[in-house]
Amino acid sequence: MNRQVSRLVLAGAIAVGTLAPGFARAHDLPDLTPESNTIAVAKGSTFRIVLAANPSTGFNWSLKGFSRPGVAQVLGCTFIASTSHLPGAGGTSICRVEATGVGTTTLTLRHARSWTSEGARIQQFTITVTL
């Protein structure tokens, strides 16, 4: 019986994102992804950027900056490993972003190995913040 309760508690924690504090879905806003890379939010809102990642390959996401500083800020990023137990399995990189000022900015992220620019790619997200 205790084992079943433990499993339910763990499943619930995973479902609401409490195992990655601060990275749960924020205010039911949509997540930004490479396929859905534009968002309009109210000042003070937080949202997530969700990207496929696999640090075991040497590739990592890094923040290159905002086209217009002061409109949004990255609060933090975390990597959530795949539930697969296969060696080298990827996962998800999640960054939490806060809308801090009114305007439009483009956030640029780079996916690359730290020792070379070979194979690097850029991902951009457009963020519009209103009052």
Overall fold of domain 21-130? Immunoglobulin-like (2.60.40)
CA pair distance 123, 33, nearest whole angstrom:
9
- pLDDT score at 23: 55
Can you give the residue ranges of every domain in the chain?
Answer: 21-130
What confidence tier does 84 reach under pLDDT thresholds 50, 70, 90?
A: confident
pTM for the predicted model, two decimal places: 0.76
Q: Which of 53, 100, 43, 105 has the alpha carbon at shortest distance from 73?
A: 100
Rounding to the nearest 10 degrees, give the CA dihedral for residues 40, 43, 46, 52.
40
